[in-house]
Amino acid sequence: MSSSSRPSRDVLHNLATQLRIDSVRSTSAAGSGHPTTCLSAADIVAALFFAEMRFDPADPQHPEADRFVLSKGHAAPILYAAWAAAGAFPRDEVLKLRSIGSDLEGHPTPRLPFVDVATGSLGQGLPAAIGIALNARRIESDYRTYALLGDGECAEGSVWEAAEVAAHERLDNLCAIVDVNGLGQSRATQYEHDTDSFVRRFEAFGWWARSIDGHDMGQILAALDEARKVSGRPALIAARTLKGKGLAAIEGKPGWHGKALKKGEETDKAIAELEAQYKDTGFPSQDGRKPGVLTPAIPKPARRRTESAPADFVAEMPAPSWALGDKVATREAFGPGLVALGGMDRRIVALDADVKNSTFSEAFEKFYPDRFIQSFIAEQAMVGVAMGLASRGAIPFPSTFACFLERASDFIRMAGISSLGVKLAGSHAGVSIGEDGPSQMALEDLAMARGVPNCTVLYPSDAVSAYRLVAAAAATPGPVYIRLGRPKTPVIYPSGETFPIGGSKTLRETSSDVVTVVAAGVTLFEALEAHDVLAKENVAIRVIDAYSVQPIDNATLVAAGRATGGRIITVEDHYAHGGLGDAVSEAVWDQAFRVKRLAVREIPRSGQPEELLDRFGISSKAIVAAVRELLA
Amino acid sequence: MSSSSRPSRDVLHNLATQLRIDSVRSTSAAGSGHPTTCLSAADIVAALFFAEMRFDPADPQHPEADRFVLSKGHAAPILYAAWAAAGAFPRDEVLKLRSIGSDLEGHPTPRLPFVDVATGSLGQGLPAAIGIALNARRIESDYRTYALLGDGECAEGSVWEAAEVAAHERLDNLCAIVDVNGLGQSRATQYEHDTDSFVRRFEAFGWWARSIDGHDMGQILAALDEARKVSGRPALIAARTLKGKGLAAIEGKPGWHGKALKKGEETDKAIAELEAQYKDTGFPSQDGRKPGVLTPAIPKPARRRTESAPADFVAEMPAPSWALGDKVATREAFGPGLVALGGMDRRIVALDADVKNSTFSEAFEKFYPDRFIQSFIAEQAMVGVAMGLASRGAIPFPSTFACFLERASDFIRMAGISSLGVKLAGSHAGVSIGEDGPSQMALEDLAMARGVPNCTVLYPSDAVSAYRLVAAAAATPGPVYIRLGRPKTPVIYPSGETFPIGGSKTLRETSSDVVTVVAAGVTLFEALEAHDVLAKENVAIRVIDAYSVQPIDNATLVAAGRATGGRIITVEDHYAHGGLGDAVSEAVWDQAFRVKRLAVREIPRSGQPEELLDRFGISSKAIVAAVRELLA
């Protein structure tokens, strides 16, 4: 907003006062929540919503609107109060805060139309805001992105991962504000009111930064003006505030974190104290009294551009060129898969954490460098940025070694809560990576991904299925995880084969099968080998490729189990918990089958891949032994 | 080491050259690994091992010895070469690098006696080193701790979480060195050779910092001297180096990350090139030729102090004062449990991430402030510091909300690989926290903890069992996770009850039970209520408290399942995957039982605890319905 068309400081002060009042009212009505952290942020939020940002309260998802991310998600009540004040919904709705029938939850989630990403796990808002700011570049929009952080949350490393990425990307359409109220949940923060410590840190990371009094509307507006003019760098405003500002008995006092005022006298007195702070700006209030609060006209976003129609990824994917029997690692198929998608739709973005030559995402960078984001070795930032991008319509594919995706597991959890279409790919799964040793082996990644109930989990075994499942990931709503392997495996599917989500492939099947073996990834080939060994002894086993681990193909598994005497073996290059064995066990729970799990059951070590498959009990030899055991 | 007794720079140069040669030899023999990152670090490592640190190669775990953490774990070959050069084992052992029969793994693990914590997941060495440095305070030793970091890994947020903690703790017994070789795995790092960017960042975080040429032995020694004299602050040395230093064709060139030289001519030429760099210091080599390398005398650590005998935590725990029927949250029992342990044994340390008033760890701080470490809102640092402490004999209890422990899940994975006795406690598990909403609800934490195969997983339901299991955690080797709840639940066990790891409690049992219900935490009370409802209809169910989720009480579960017609219901305030249902399913896999899982199956929302248990299908009502379904 240009400074000339801005409402007066007194009007903004009154709006801040109204936000304070509504934050107290809503938390008191709920009987829980965080009023005091709302009160410290009220002047900043009022300035952003009513003197800075360009948006349409009636259409909060307008693609050209400025974005606001409340990284300090526990200040949700003031976010709701601000949108109510802007006219998005009636003010008294805030009194439904935290009740099961309302989307005004304890911490913001995208169930609300004006929330892009769920916050409440501290340190996630800034990475997401960076993704949102990068999306402006992708769609060539001049919208700006604002993130409000708590001071305590700046202890989270993800904030500094994000700071690095934003500076590297020279994101001058991003402005972060830290609400330095000096008080954490249980004690003073380590920074207390030293706003300069934030300025020093962010400057050292390459940001423009300045320190202000966060209750001085003039200083807030001036800093926002300056921040808007910064070129080639992201901007940081460290605002000195008081937790509980406006309530003399509470202001700046410890012991008030996450406590609602008591209903009745305590709340009534607080509201009266705040109401007395309204300045007479000539506006009548709703009941006709002066002084009152008038919401100023909010500048609308630019005209909506027409977007190209989305691609039908699965149908339009060009056929890959591998022939049956070619030896290709599934991770090697990931690159060409990404490149093919990138050519179909400009929404496809790839993100890397400095392993692009191992995951083969470098192929995408060669073709589409403007849609390739390098987060360097910062997995939380990579996934957080992807969350922000996904929230604004991009289809991001962050990839790294599967074990290092676990570094971002709390982000992946929050991506699930936000239902964001982040398409994660993790390479180098399992002990089959060999010599690098246990620190590089993902053996709990399926459990992590399956722990997000709305996450689709895919585990291809050959290059064709990997390539096709990359397209399926792009086409499937919500988060998706694709598990990729390091070793080369033979191509077993024709290039035109289809792999529906929730499906499976039965690769070996006779009417005399006595055991069903369910596998995916490298162990599928161990299962096929076990099949051949046992066939020589006239023992027939059914072999199923469970490329879709979540959802899993219940019907096929139940039918196979019934056909093979209720004997099922699962075999996975993963620990025994939360992975394929767990998925199959649950799928057939009511059948009274026996589901034996072959999986890694101890901390592994360095060695050659084949040695390790054998040593940790997931090789063809182990499968043959397990079949014999089940038949004994 | 005092500068006067130090070996000459030429001697140190020759040692560095030997380390380079052995790094090339070992990786070439293995056919994989990271020689070039070893070559950049060789001068720094030679200076640390042979001119700076005080240690005993024959007794690397001496409690008073200086510590070295190789945070850039992929440089493992030079770590092994240094310990070989120091005399810990014969030099030619390094040729067994990465083979299944050797503990010289691709990345260092504590299978080796001179490794405190496994590294290889970047950004974890500095937090661990801080824990090790804090341990020196705990045992009142003057040993110093050194950590060698890669430049690329400084993008990891955990490095900055650690930087904050180290500065806050004024750790002047800690010296971190960043090997700024400018090259990451797939490209130049974002910092390239700008060593000052590291100095600026660490100074902004409160460290003493300086920048040097990492191949100039004089500058390295001078910086170590200066760092040793710094008071009240940790020290950082940013060393400009060349990846592949010493090999002209490779030095400073991209494309050489993680590539061993080819056996034969390529390796032989490289070794000859390095050997030609030996300076004549008058020492003959092993084969009698000059110049040779002589390992200087390494100063030994101080005399070993006598340590007090460890407590028998489980037996000595004083009885708690709760009476049957008292309403106490399990998290409320955690504080008194910690305090009791702290009084028994000085090895007990508590760590917090600014939620001590919610987890009740603040009780410990009141009694033992010198053994209470505040990491502020930095869960990776908290767990990493705990890992370092555990590696040096402390028994650390890091605690926070269970969902935020997931922020550190990659650290917990590595704690498992290191078999470290980190005793994690996570509060506020499940939807039963209520109004705060999904971002604060841990619903995948059991899966995370069970995904560490050597992690003991405990899930108490009442205060007495919680209190007793805190003692069991201290007494149990390796990592332990204790899941704690927010709501108050009635005390159901007498204060003297014992809770062996791997056990369970059968709370309701008759000879006519038709279904077994297995629960833990808040859902145990739902199961007891369902029992009473069904009893009125003359339907008897067995109710088992599975307080030990890993290991789980297989024998009791199998016997109960057999006694109840193979019908088992699990009910947990957790997602359906990787938790209690998974554990029970696997425990009884060969019994052909039906194991029905009641668990949260979608992203939850804010609401009152009882409303949410009901809505997400884990209340007594859901249990009653499931029993009827199984019987139908």
**What pTM was estimated for this model as a whole?**
0.98
Provide the sign of the torsion angle of the four alpha carbons B175, B180, B183, B189, taken in this order. positive
Please name the member of B168, B376, B454 whose beta carbon is closest to the beta carbon of A603.
B454
Q: Taking CA atoms, what residue in A is nearest to B410?
A: A407
Q: Is the pLDDT of residue B295 over 90?
A: no
Beta-carbon separation of A380 and B155 below 8 A: no
Q: Å from B319 to nearest chain A CA?
A: 29
Measured between alpha carbons, how far is A17 from A623 in angstroms, rounded to an integer? 69
Please name the member of A106, A200, A566 whose beta carbon is closest to the beta carbon of B204.
A200
Please name the member of B99, B376, B602 whose beta carbon is closest to the beta carbon of A184.
B376
Lowest mean pLDDT segment, chosen from A97-111, A304-318, A439-453, A584-598: A304-318
Q: Å from A602 to nearest chain B CA?
A: 6
Measured between alpha carbons, how far is A180 from A178 in angstroms, rounded to an integer? 6
Query: How much is the average pLDDT of B37-45?
Result: 98
Residues B369-414 have pLDDT tens digits of: 999 999 999 999 999 999 999 999 999 999 999 999 999 999 999 9
Beta-carbon separation of B106 and A73 below 8 A: no
Q: Taking CA atoms, what residue in B is nearest to A374?
A: B190
* β-pairing verdict for B348-352 and A594-600: unpaired
Q: Is the pLDDT of residue A21 over 80?
A: yes
Q: Å from B224 to nearest chain A CA?
A: 24
Exposure pattern of B473-497 as b/e (b: 16+ CB <10 Å)?
Answer: bbbbebbbbbbbbbbebebbbebee
Q: Taking CA atoms, what residue in B is nearest to A405?
A: B410
Please name the member of B374, B409, B605 whose beta carbon is closest to the beta carbon of A105.
B605
Q: Report the complex ipTM.
A: 0.97
- Count CA atoms closer than 13 A to B207's CA, side-chain side: 30
Task: Note the pLDDT of residue B2.
Answer: 60
Q: Is the pLDDT of residue B208 over 80?
A: yes
Measured between alpha carbons, how far is B228 from B250 in angstroms, rounded to an integer? 34
Residues B420-438 have pLDDT tens digits of: 999 999 999 999 999 999 9
Query: How much is the average pLDDT of B57-73?
Result: 96
Query: How much is the average pLDDT of A46-70?
Result: 96
Measured between alpha carbons, how far is B403 from B376 in angstroms, rounded to an integer? 16
Q: Å from A113 to nearest chain B CA?
A: 16
Query: How much is the average pLDDT of A183-201?
Result: 95
Q: Please give the distance of CA B444 from its chain centroid, rounded to a whole number.
A: 19
Beta-carbon separation of B100 and A607 below 8 A: yes
Q: Å from B86 to nearest chain A CA?
A: 24
Measured between alpha carbons, how far is A455 from A415 in angstroms, rounded to an integer? 9
Residue A370 phi, psi (nearest 5) = -75, -10
> Contacts of residue A128 in chain B, CB cutoff 8 Å?
none
Please name the member of A30, A158, A594 whose beta carbon is closest to the beta carbon of B592.
A594
H or E stretch covering A238? strand A235-240
Beta-carbon separation of B453 and A404 below 8 A: no
Measured between alpha carbons, how far is A47 from A212 in angstroms, rounded to an integer? 14
Query: How much is the average pLDDT of A51-64?
Result: 96
> Contacts of residue A419 in chain B, CB cutoff 8 Å?
603
> Hey, which residues of B are catalytic here?
379
Please name the member of A376, A419, A438 whose beta carbon is closest to the beta carbon of B190.
A376
SS3 of residue B426 by DSSP? strand
| Cβ count within 10 A of residue B333 | 25
Query: How much is the average pLDDT of B554-565?
Result: 98
Measured between alpha carbons, how far is B430 from B444 in angstroms, rounded to an integer? 9
| Cβ count within 10 A of residue A103 | 16
Q: What is the mean pLDDT of chain B?
A: 96
Task: Note the pLDDT of residue B284.
Answer: 78
Are A544 and A558 in contact, with CB atoms under 8 Å apart?
A: no
Task: Note the pLDDT of residue A293.
Answer: 83
Q: What percent of chain B has pLDDT over 90?
A: 94
Q: Tell me which residue of B377, B362, B555 sits closest to A74, measured CA to CA.
A: B377
Longest dimension (CA), chain B: 95
Q: Å from A297 to nearest chain B CA?
A: 33
Reported as a pLDDT band with limits 50, 70 and 90, residue A286 is low
> Contacts of residue B356 in chain A, CB cutoff 8 Å?
186-187
- Relative orientation angle of helices A217-229 and A9-30, to the nearest 10 degrees: 100
Residues A622-631 have pLDDT tens digits of: 999 999 999 9
Beta-carbon separation of B440 and A107 below 8 A: yes
Residue B533 phi, psi (nearest 5) = -60, -50
CB pairs under 8 A between A and B: 346
Selected for mutation to probe chain A from B115, B606, B610, B630 (highest A CB count within 10 Å) is: B606
Q: Tell me which residue of A386, A127, A368 sits closest to A234, measured CA to CA.
A: A127
> Hey, which residues of A are catalytic here?
379
Task: List alpha helices for B295-431, DSSP H.
Answer: 313-316, 330-344, 356-359, 362-367, 379-391, 402-405, 409-417
Measured between alpha carbons, how far is B88 from B68 in angstroms, rounded to an integer? 15
Are A508 and A543 in contact, with CB atoms under 8 Å apart?
A: yes
Beta-carbon separation of A157 and B381 below 8 A: yes
Beta-carbon separation of A410 and B403 below 8 A: yes
Task: Note the pLDDT of residue A4.
Answer: 65
Q: Taking CA atoms, what residue in A is nearest to B75?
A: A436
Task: Note the pLDDT of residue A311.
Answer: 87
Longest dimension (CA), chain A: 95
SS3 of residue B509 by DSSP? coil
Task: Note the pLDDT of residue A486.
Answer: 97
Measured between alpha carbons, how far is B176 from B361 in angstroms, rounded to an integer? 30
Query: How much is the average pLDDT of B288-316?
Result: 81
Beta-carbon separation of A605 and B100 below 8 A: yes
Task: Note the pLDDT of residue B4.
Answer: 65
Q: Taking CA atoms, what residue in A is nearest to B127?
A: A157
Task: Note the pLDDT of residue A282.
Answer: 84
> What beta strand segments (E) does A291-359 contain?
327-329, 348-352
Are A342 and A314 in contact, with CB atoms under 8 Å apart?
A: no
Q: Is the pLDDT of residue B44 over 80?
A: yes
Q: Is the pLDDT of residue A294 over 90?
A: no
- Relative orientation angle of helices B76-85 and B35-47, to the nearest 10 degrees: 40
Residues A489-509 have pLDDT tens digits of: 999 999 999 999 999 999 999
Q: Å from B301 to nearest chain A CA?
A: 31
Measured between alpha carbons, how far is A432 from B205 in angstroms, rounded to an integer? 41
Beta-carbon separation of B33 and A435 below 8 A: yes
Task: Note the pLDDT of residue A297.
Answer: 86
Residues B429-471 have pLDDT tens digits of: 999 999 999 999 999 999 999 999 999 999 999 999 999 999 9
Please name the member of B157, B356, B436 whose beta carbon is closest to the beta carbon of A378.
B157
- DSSP code of residue A299: P
Measured between alpha carbons, how far is A297 from A57 in angstroms, rounded to an integer? 11
- Alpha-carbon distances, residue A281 vs A9, A12, A45, A46, A83 (angstroms): 10, 10, 20, 16, 22
On the question of a cis peptide bond just before residue B108, with omega within 30 degrees of 0, the verdict is: no
Q: Tell me which residue of A537, A506, A543 sits closest to A525, measured CA to CA.
A: A543
Q: Taking CA atoms, what residue in A is nearest to B76?
A: A436
Selected for mutation to probe chain A from B372, B399, B413, B419 (highest A CB count within 10 Å) is: B413
- Torsion, Cα of B262, B264, B265, B271 (10° steps): 80
Query: How much is the average pLDDT of B356-370?
Result: 97
Measured between alpha carbons, how far is B387 from B398 in angstroms, rounded to an integer? 10
Are B157 and A158 in contact, with CB atoms under 8 Å apart?
A: yes
Residues A227-242 have pLDDT tens digits of: 999 999 999 999 999 9
Q: Taking CA atoms, what residue in B is nearest to A360?
A: B186
